[in-house]
Amino acid sequence: MTDGATDADRLRAALEPFYTAVEGVLIGQRRLLDRLLIGLLTDGHVLLEGVPGLAKTLAVRTVARALDLSFKRVQFTPDLLPADVIGTQIYNPRTGEFTVKQGPVFANVVLADEINRAPAKVQSALLEAMAERQVTIGDSSLELPRPFFVLATQNPVEQEGTYPLPEAQVDRFMLKVLIDYPGRADELAILDRMGGVDSSTDLSPVLSAPQLEGLRRAADAVYVDAKVKGYLLDVVRATRHPAEYGLDLAGLIQLGASPRATISLHRAAKAHALLAGRNYVAPEDVKAMAPDVLRHRLVVSFEAEAEDLRPDHLVKQVLDRLPVP
């Protein structure tokens, strides 16, 4: 176990230049940065939710630049068309043939900004890309670049003119991360750095694609003990059958988390352990990642809404009451 721990420490140390570079631009958002890295290390898409002005777009753009990955941003609006996202076929009258014009989805990191402002037809255009890492244009299926990540943002306010994401698409996001206001000291640092007219920061890549791939393999190799794996499984299953675990949540959860949530929590816990410098998963890793993995996959009942009980409250009850191995 010692050699493995040393190796995990070495891999974690390799991320220090990345943290230093990104935090030179993004202030007071270490938790958000960790979650974005976990998504990148586990081949998972991430949904960011927070009020305007919390640097969601800046965070995604900065991470992509630090990792030397191609980056495209799509501003979702009510008049957006699927072709504006995935691309379309263009007819050439000279040759009488169609050629494919690729859309902005053909990038390593795709920022779907305010994804809930586009109708379902456009949102569903991303489903194939997120699930299969390919898109179909006409009668051609085109592979997307690897790695491929969709990092989407949405605002919890100003719901007029928005279109709720369908459950099938929400479930494709590995994590849903809630972003809160920075602390006073962090906001003062933001003011000092970004308060001028020229607040641009030049950021050079600090982590190459081969290094990222090595870290992804290391995260996949993190050890999960059978007892921890059973605990992880119970956390997810308790959202479906709370009575079996002695939880008084009857009537509060209309739809529990799917087996895809179990897989996502397993991968996320392993990446979280790696970022902590460990080559094994502890129950604390499962507890840390469970809210981000489960909050968007639970459908609460009308009774829960009437009592102002959100998915986070229900996940916390599950984590507080289930015995930890």
- Per DSSP, the residues of 21-42 read HHHTTS-S-HHHHHHHHHHHHT
Distance CA 96, CA 109 (A): 34
Q: Which residues, given as ranges, of the chain have pLDDT below 50?
A: 1-2
pLDDT tens-digit profile of 95-115?
878 888 888 999 999 998 888
Distance CA 130, CA 260 (A): 14
Residue in the structure block whose two tokens are 């981000």: 292
pLDDT tens-digit profile of 35-56?
999 999 998 999 998 887 777 8
**What is the set of domains in the chain, with CATH numbers?**
2-193+208-213 (3.40.50.300), 222-319 (1.10.8.80)
Q: Judge whether 221 and 11 are in contact, CB under 8 Å.
A: no
What confidence score (pLDDT) does residue 1 get? 42
β-pairing verdict for 45-49 and 173-178: parallel
Distance CA 16, CA 32 (A): 16
pLDDT tens-digit profile of 278-315?
889 999 999 999 999 999 998 888 888 788 788 889 99
Nearest Cα residue to 267 out of 289, 287, 282: 289
